[in-house]
Amino acid sequence: MVLSYYLLKPFYSLTWRVLNLFQKRRETLFYCHTPVDMENWLPVQKYLKPLRVVTDKASTYKALKQSGIKVSRLPAFPKAVIMCRVASHKFPSRKVTKIGMTHGAYHFKRMTSAQNFRPFSLFLFTSQRDLAKAKNIGVKIGKVGGFPKLDPYLPVKHTAAEDLAHRKARILFTATYDQSGMSAIQQWLPHLPELTDYYDVYVSVHPWMSKVYIDALKAMPKVHYILGSPLPYLHKADLCVVDTSSIIAECTALGKPLISWILPDSPRMVPEITEILAKISIRIKDFSELRPAIEKILTEPGIFGSERAWANAIFFDALDGKAGLRTAQAITKLLPELKL
């Protein structure tokens, strides 16, 4: 548990109790840490009574307002809160019922301590395999909800492939944030201009990526830097170049061939993910290996198809576009007043 929980708890709890004396707490909120959380929440919200959205992040507040979503600033003192984070310290009172969801598919970084899950009454994971990992560290309030973020793109519609002779192949580069010790952005960013004559190059990076890299990407005239969700671009990509981000699971869910970077070990790396990548992707160490790998995939688009299906069974229990419904049903078992 973070230090702010213990520092704020006496004041927050007292305020909550006083407010409850004057007006009984009945409201359930959705706490939004970043706009990515909202993308995961909206496919759930449509099955529930409307919830007020709150945040303590100025950038998130601005982004949500610009997208037309009504949002309020913390502090708030609800009966219950739903979030796509392990962030119970934002509402440091046992009186507030807390429900959590993962903001990324599966756990591509080491799972946090079980202690951080204890304030929750329910926490929803993306698959039975993911839930089993949580149980192994002592999490006792977990259930499987799925990954609602993907619902608008599922089930995958298999249409006739476009003739690549009449357009450039679309390559989506993704990267987790550089300070994680698990990013490959240094391997490819300086070389992107070398690819733009041959491919349509799209780039999506983690919201916490250092500004120096984002500024460099924005300055590349023929590189499409993605602001906001990468899913609409991922949906149309011919292949993806990845490092260790959970977007890997989104790629496999949408049937996209992968090229992945071999990176030095990092304290947050999960050996299981490295093993999975070795089975479902073309692994490369150096930029000189990238174009041959891209061309191999473009000439063999079905490569690693069965291996991706195997990985999907680890990351997800179902890819039927109904994760939002299942998540809403799990929530209303605990908070029946949210039923439509």
Place of tokens 């007020």: 52
The phi, psi pair for 19, rounded to 5°, reads -60, -35
pLDDT higher than 90, residue 253: yes
Burial of 262 (0-12, 13-18, 19+ CB in 10 A): middle
What mean pLDDT comes out for the span 18-42? 96
Residue 2 in tokens: 């973070």
Containing 257, the helix (H) or strand (E) segment is none
What does the mean pLDDT of the chain come to?
Answer: 93
Containing 185, the helix (H) or strand (E) segment is helix 185-188
Containing 126, the helix (H) or strand (E) segment is none
Position 222 scores a pLDDT of: 94
Distance, CA of 84 to CA of 260 (rounded, Å): 27
Q: Of 3-17, 125-139, 269-283, which range is least confident?
A: 3-17
Give me the percent of the chain exceeding a pLDDT of 70.
Answer: 98
The closest of 121, 147, 173 to 36, measured between CA atoms, is: 147
As a whole number of Å, the CA-based R_g of the chain is 21
Position 1 scores a pLDDT of: 62
How far apart are the two ends of the chain, measured CA to CA in Å?
A: 34
For the segment 192-239, what is each residue's pLDDT rounded down to a tens digit?
999 999 999 999 999 889 999 999 999 999 999 999 899 999 999 999
Contact, 327 vs 46, CB < 8 A?
Answer: no
Position 159 scores a pLDDT of: 52
Place of tokens 């590349």: 220
Distance, CA of 81 to CA of 229 (rounded, Å): 24
Q: How confident is the model at residue 160 (pLDDT cuts 50, 70, 90)?
A: very low
pLDDT higher than 90, residue 163: no
What mean pLDDT comes out for the span 26-54? 97
Q: What CA–CA distances, in Å, run from 64 to 49, 67, 227?
A: 19, 5, 13
What mean pLDDT comes out for the span 43-69? 96
Conformation bin of residue 146: beta by default, left when phi > 0, alpha when psi is -120 to 50: left
Q: Of 46-60, 125-139, 266-280, which range is least confident?
A: 266-280
Q: How confident is the model at residue 158 (pLDDT cuts 50, 70, 90)?
A: low
Place of tokens 């996209």: 256
For the segment 99-124, what is each residue's pLDDT rounded down to a tens digit?
999 988 988 888 888 999 999 999 99
Distance, CA of 114 to CA of 191 (rounded, Å): 41
Position 5 scores a pLDDT of: 74
Residue 94 in tokens: 């046992």
Q: What domains does the chain contain, in order, with CATH numbers?
A: 3-152+320-338 (3.40.50.2000), 164-315 (3.40.50.2000)
- Is pTM beyond 0.75? Reply is yes
- SS3 category, 53: strand
Position 266 scores a pLDDT of: 82
